[in-house]
Chains A and B, each alone.
Chain A
């Protein structure tokens, strides 16, 4: 394994946060409000808690085999054939994720910022811009995540602060009134809004202090959970439950509700969109990079740079497949989610269990 690239734990935290927060933050409040009404925050919280075991498992894998990277562990533990099948699933997942992110960016851009610019132009320029960072090695990706992290925190804090003056917190009431049978459905939605921590699989082997990565990755999850809950609470107290359920992108539409005295702080959608593009960049970059890395592993090449440009048309074409927003939000999301579950949750759990058993046999 190549050891010259190093990632610090702070960078891992930033990277995980910037990868998790992306598209989900825009639509999650209304999606969850449509299922669990006023109690959506419970779903968000439970979804976050349910992700903890998987983060622990990913960290444990690398404690079992401290000197190897993810691909070496996978090939050793599962046989190369099985592992390659999982890798193909993983590859499909990251490509789908990248396309989903691109397509969402295009839709949101056309709504809020560039209403007459062709979708194709926005998509291609965005993928091209991210391809630059995707060509870099993991230390650069880590640093990028580390720098996007404060922007995400700033983005969230900004939205929360500007919407406080108009917020009516009684809109949060009544609590604990939703049907208990809807909770699993709510959790299913919120659970997948946290995907993105799979970048840990590629990052932890290069961490400077491995014993502390678990702490930092859980911290990242806690931060994201907190951001999601706060944004949900603000959106709900701003809109009331019915108007929130109507919104497509409540988080961005919140900006349209701002009306602070002194008109200079009005119609801020352009500014916020600019920040949000950076947030999306933080999701897209690592996903694109992972796709390149996996391909380079499958074809056994020295660097992954080769595959970045060939991936561009694939991501572009996949991103243009859905015909409308409903298809993106229903079908594309659930396909991405299935692949995510298969490649992240099942694969890492399997590697951990098999690896654990193998390790114990060796010791005996």
Chain B
């Protein structure tokens, strides 16, 4: 009898000891997937204009009970988190930022170093936020970008996120996470963030925005972004087009290696960047007879691609050195890691030294395959 009573007490106590101290049902939470931050012009209610978009759980699935798939809501605030508190008074459930995917910075906000630093610190400090949040800069306002309704909408993760992580097929932009952003600024003082453009019902990610010490300094184009990705070995697959014998030649890169080397001369520092690519012929021209059947023609094609890439690289380096004075190629990181003594000497005046560094670019293109036909 005694044992049975004891057993009964133990069994009933299980019901009350389930350990759900702060239980929140999953459908009573809002999971924002992108957050846009703009500067609040005009209003006095805070420096930021925070826009949050989140999926409508009821509109997903086989028999959706509601039409609107994505909700977008925005407010002015003194910080992102204050903004989310403001918004919490206007939505049914609390926000839960663990699944936040994208941070979009408005162009005007990006130009203010202090504000960007504050946003970055807030996100880096918060424990719920996954540090793999993708960062992007909106040309114009972040609010407009997030509010853009695309035709092919991705409800689960958000359209912008799907676009951003789709950088495997091309090096026209390089996706950048929050940690990458901070790490890159730590190492080089410069970070390169993809640029997002919103048109009527379309979002496009193209090129990048350069940040120097968390301050937006300018945009770079797709080809420049490609050149930087090549130097940083961030190219997965890429198509290079060039003229060869009056015909457009497409060469697809499948493998890429990049090397930096410091050469100290009497005049100063010289950096040699050597890039080796491997790839295949993608498109040439259909001739009546097989044309690509000897070494000479392959070699001359390789030279043509090399010339094209070298031109792009040199142009990009010039833009970075003269126009922006921004070390997006990771030269500072290379020096501090592999030549710490040299780096210690130049570290203080890096900003004045970088534009005058002599670069020597060499590209070695290998065309391994020529497709199915000769």
Chain B residue nearest in CB terms to A259: B132
Interface residues of A in 206-251 (CB under 8 A from B): 239-243, 246
Q: How far is the CB of A299 from chain B (nearest CB, A)?
A: 34
Interface residues of B in 112-127 (CB under 8 A from A): 124, 127
Chain A residues with CB under 8 Å of B183's CB are 239-240, 242-243
* Residue A271, interface by CB 8 Å: no
Interface residues of B in 156-199 (CB under 8 A from A): 177, 179, 182-183, 186-187
Interface residues of B in 265-310 (CB under 8 A from A): none
Q: How far is the CB of A197 from chain B (nearest CB, A)?
A: 33
Does B22 lie within 8 Å of A114, measured CB to CB? Answer: yes
Chain A residues with CB under 8 Å of B131's CB are 253, 256-257
Does B338 lie within 8 Å of A114, measured CB to CB? Answer: no
Chain A residue nearest in CB terms to B338: A173
Q: How far is the CB of A176 from chain B (nearest CB, A)?
A: 9
Contact with A along B9-25 (1 / 0, CB 8 A): 00000000000011000
Chain B residues with CB under 8 Å of A266's CB are 130
Does B186 lie within 8 Å of A243, measured CB to CB? Answer: yes
Q: How far is the CB of B327 from chain A (nearest CB, A)?
A: 16
* Residue A177, interface by CB 8 Å: yes
Q: How many angstroms between the C-alpha atoms of A242 and B131 in the bound complex?
A: 16
Chain A residue nearest in CB terms to B186: A242
Q: How many angstroms between the C-alpha atoms of A240 and B22 in the bound complex?
A: 36
Does B127 lie within 8 Å of A111, measured CB to CB? Answer: yes
Does B186 lie within 8 Å of A170, measured CB to CB? Answer: no
Q: How far is the CB of B233 from chain A (nearest CB, A)?
A: 11
Chain B count of residues within 8 A CB distance of the other chain: 19
* Residue A174, interface by CB 8 Å: yes
With A173-B338, A257-B179 known as contacts, the answer to whether A116 contacts B22 (CB < 8 A) is: yes
* Residue B64, interface by CB 8 Å: no
Does A240 lie within 8 Å of B130, measured CB to CB? Answer: no
Q: How far is the CB of B236 from chain A (nearest CB, A)?
A: 13
Q: How many angstroms between the C-alpha atoms of A293 and B130 in the bound complex?
A: 45
* Residue A117, interface by CB 8 Å: yes
Q: How many angstroms between the C-alpha atoms of A114 and B128 in the bound complex?
A: 11
Q: How far is the CB of B92 from chain A (nearest CB, A)?
A: 19
Does A174 lie within 8 Å of B337, measured CB to CB? Answer: yes
Contact with B along A169-188 (1 / 0, CB 8 A): 01101100100000000000
Interface residues of A in 110-154 (CB under 8 A from B): 111-112, 114-117, 121
* Residue B221, interface by CB 8 Å: no
* Residue B336, interface by CB 8 Å: yes
Q: How far is the CB of A271 from chain B (nearest CB, A)?
A: 14
Chain B residues with CB under 8 Å of A256's CB are 130-132
Does B22 lie within 8 Å of A177, measured CB to CB? Answer: no
Chain A residues with CB under 8 Å of B130's CB are 256, 266-267
Chain B residue nearest in CB terms to A174: B340
Interface residues of B in 1-43 (CB under 8 A from A): 21-22
Q: How many angstroms between the C-alpha atoms of A241 and B187 in the bound complex?
A: 9
Does B127 lie within 8 Å of A112, measured CB to CB? Answer: yes
Q: How many angstroms between the C-alpha atoms of A1 and B21 in the bound complex?
A: 46
Does B132 lie within 8 Å of A240, measured CB to CB? Answer: no
Q: How far is the CB of A15 from chain B (nearest CB, A)?
A: 29
Does A174 lie within 8 Å of B132, measured CB to CB? Answer: no
Q: How many angstroms between the C-alpha atoms of A246 and B336 in the bound complex?
A: 19
Chain B residues with CB under 8 Å of A259's CB are 132, 177
Does A267 lie within 8 Å of B340, measured CB to CB? Answer: no
Chain B residues with CB under 8 Å of A243's CB are 179, 182-183, 186
* Residue B215, interface by CB 8 Å: no
Chain A residue nearest in CB terms to B184: A240
* Residue B98, interface by CB 8 Å: yes
Q: How many angstroms between the C-alpha atoms of A259 and B179 in the bound complex?
A: 12
Q: How far is the CB of A313 from chain B (nearest CB, A)?
A: 22
Q: How many angstroms between the C-alpha atoms of A116 and B127 in the bound complex?
A: 13
Q: How many angstroms between the C-alpha atoms of A115 and B338 in the bound complex?
A: 43
Q: How many angstroms between the C-alpha atoms of A253 and B338 in the bound complex?
A: 28
Interface residues of A in 276-298 (CB under 8 A from B): none
Does B186 lie within 8 Å of A240, measured CB to CB? Answer: yes
Q: How many angstroms between the C-alpha atoms of A246 and B125 in the bound complex?
A: 10
Q: How many angstroms between the C-alpha atoms of A171 and B334 in the bound complex?
A: 10
Q: How many angstroms between the C-alpha atoms of A246 and B183 in the bound complex?
A: 11
Does A117 lie within 8 Å of B186, measured CB to CB? Answer: no
With A257-B132, A257-B179, A259-B132 known as contacts, the answer to whether A177 contacts B186 (CB < 8 A) is: no
Chain A residue nearest in CB terms to B21: A117
Interface residues of B in 213-257 (CB under 8 A from A): none
Chain B residues with CB under 8 Å of A171's CB are 337
Contact with A along B96-116 (1 / 0, CB 8 A): 001100000000000000000
Q: How far is the CB of B116 from chain A (nearest CB, A)?
A: 17
Q: How many angstroms between the C-alpha atoms of A116 and B124 in the bound complex?
A: 20
Chain A residues with CB under 8 Å of B99's CB are 267
Chain A residues with CB under 8 Å of B182's CB are 243
Q: How many angstroms between the C-alpha atoms of A104 and B100 in the bound complex?
A: 28
Q: How far is the CB of A37 from chain B (nearest CB, A)?
A: 11
Q: How many angstroms between the C-alpha atoms of A240 and B130 in the bound complex?
A: 18
Chain A residues with CB under 8 Å of B337's CB are 170-171, 173-174
Q: How many angstroms between the C-alpha atoms of A359 and B338 in the bound complex?
A: 57
Q: How many angstroms between the C-alpha atoms of A267 and B99 in the bound complex?
A: 9
Contact with B along A263-281 (1 / 0, CB 8 A): 0001100000000000000
Q: How far is the CB of B308 from chain A (nearest CB, A)?
A: 29
Chain B residues with CB under 8 Å of A177's CB are 340
Chain B residue nearest in CB terms to A121: B21
Q: How many angstroms between the C-alpha atoms of A174 and B340 in the bound complex?
A: 6
Chain A residue nearest in CB terms to B22: A116
Chain A residue nearest in CB terms to B98: A267
Q: How many angstroms between the C-alpha atoms of A340 and B124 in the bound complex?
A: 35
Q: How many angstroms between the C-alpha atoms of A155 and B337 in the bound complex?
A: 30
Does B21 lie within 8 Å of A240, measured CB to CB? Answer: no
Chain A residues with CB under 8 Å of B179's CB are 239, 243, 257
Q: How many angstroms between the C-alpha atoms of A111 and B125 in the bound complex?
A: 11
Give me the interface of B with A, judged by CB distance under 8 Å: 21-22, 98-99, 124, 127, 130-132, 177, 179, 182-183, 186-187, 336-338, 340
Nearest 6 A-B pairs (CB), nearest first?
A242-B186, A174-B340, A173-B337, A259-B132, A116-B22, A177-B340
A selection of 13 A-B contacts at a CB cut-off of 8 Å is A114-B21, A115-B22, A115-B127, A116-B22, A170-B337, A171-B337, A239-B179, A240-B186, A243-B179, A243-B186, A256-B131, A256-B132, A267-B99
Further pairs besides A121-B21, A241-B186, A246-B124: 18, Cβ < 8 Å:
A114-B21, A115-B22, A116-B21, A170-B337, A173-B337, A173-B338, A242-B186, A242-B187, A243-B182, A253-B131, A256-B130, A256-B131, A256-B132, A257-B131, A257-B179, A266-B130, A267-B98, A267-B99
